[in-house]
Structure 1
Amino acid sequence: MVLFGTPIETVYLTTLIIAGILTILFLFFGDILEGIGEMFGFFNPVLILAFLTFTSASGYILESVTTLNSILILIISILFGLLLVTLLNIFILIPMSSAEESLSYTEESLKGRVGKVIISIPENGFGEVVIESKSGRISKPAACYENKIIQEGQQVLIINVEKGVLYVESYENNLDIHQLS
């Protein structure tokens, strides 16, 4: 089949190369295009580029390997592209958009949290505290805020953080979990 005076294989290959280049550019300059995507709710550059890539790649492969009619190959390629883009959207893009933007933490965000001593904190010395959160566990060196001994296994309240060291106080949680239910 010839399209615009060019063999259809060349059209598929050219579309594949252009979509690949645009995908790479989108990786570097995606924030600019995200603004365009916000303007139009249905316009998602990632899905459009993926559709063009999948459709042109499958069309080129089918034209090269099979002897099917070019119209049938185009229909199969479009259906294949739609299927893969749907799967990409449902299983990758939607879960990623609802995930936390960052799993990192700042020293300032640790203040006021409760942790557990895993290495005893001696008087005027350092031990280690682990803090559990939804994103995992954070283990940091710790010292007692009032230079007292804090034994392993005790809960502590983080008062301050300086140069990566947690300054903590003993913390007693008087609220029984069974009282809440």
Structure 2
Amino acid sequence: MELFGTPIENIYLFVLIIAGILTILYLFFGDFIEVFGEISPFLNPALILAFITFFSAAAYILELVTSLSSIVIIIISSILAFILAAVLNIFVFIPMKSAEESLSYTEDSLKGRVGKIILSVPEDGFGEIVIKSKSGTISKPAASYDNELIQEGTRVLVIEVKNGVLYVVPYETGFDLESG
């Protein structure tokens, strides 16, 4: 079969090459395009590129190795591409998205955490605190909850969070389950 005077195999190959190039560009510049993923989960550029890549690859291979009609090849390739894109979404994209979210933290989740002062907190001033967790180390500005001096190296308890600043008090070790 020919389309616009060009053999259909060449068109599938051309689409496959273009989809591959767009996929590589998406890897580098995907953050700019992710805005469309926020509008609708069905317009995820990675899934669209995966579908086009799977479709054109399957159609190209089927055109070369089978004697099926082009309409049958388009139907088979579409079904195969849909299934492969769905599997990619379910087993790769969705777990990656939830894993990315689980590594984040909210300011409210820092209340009640124990950390260490790395820059002394002066009276009525700001220092810096480090809180260690399983997902990494968090460094935030800190102020004394009671407006008192807190020396560098002191373990502290986060009491309150306002405007990105953690208000802390010295942590008295009694029954301590956390090391840090």
- The normalised TM-score by structure 1 is 0.60
Q: Which amino acid aligns with 2:174?
A: E
* CA distance, structure 1, for counterparts of residue 37 and residue 49 of structure 2: 13
Q: Is the 8 A contact 1:9 1:60 kept in 2?
A: yes
Q: Is the 8 A contact 1:16 1:53 kept in 2?
A: yes
Would you say 1:113 and 2:119 are equivalent positions? no
Over 3 Å counting, the alpha-carbon distance change for 1:146 and 1:93 in structure 2 is closer
Number of the residue aligned with 1:43: 43
Task: Report the CA distance between 1:174 and its aligned residue.
Answer: 7.8
Q: Is the 8 A contact 2:114 2:171 kept in 1?
A: no
Number of the residue aligned with 2:34: 34
Number of the residue aligned with 1:82: 82
User: Following TM superposition, where does structure 1 have runs of at least 4 consecutive aligned residues deviating by more than 6 angstroms?
Assistant: none
- The normalised TM-score by structure 2 is 0.60
**C-alpha RMSD over aligned residues:** 3.6
* CA distance, structure 1, for counterparts of residue 49 and residue 37 of structure 2: 13
Number of the residue aligned with 2:7: 7
Q: Is the 8 A contact 1:146 1:169 kept in 2?
A: no
Task: Report the CA distance between 1:41 and its aligned residue.
Answer: 4.2
Offset from partner CA, 1:138-167 (integer Å, 9 cap, x none): xxxxxxx899xxxxxxxxx8449xxxxxxx
Offset from partner CA, 1:98-120 (integer Å, 9 cap, x none): 11358599xxx8x9537xxxxxx
Q: Is the 8 A contact 1:54 1:84 kept in 2?
A: yes
Q: Which moved more, 1:33-42 or 1:8-17?
A: 33-42
Q: Which amino acid aligns with 1:33?
A: I
Q: Which moved more, 1:32-41 or 1:74-83?
A: 32-41
Over 3 Å counting, the alpha-carbon distance change for 1:36 and 1:146 in structure 2 is closer
Matches within 5 A, 1:42-61: 42-61=42-61
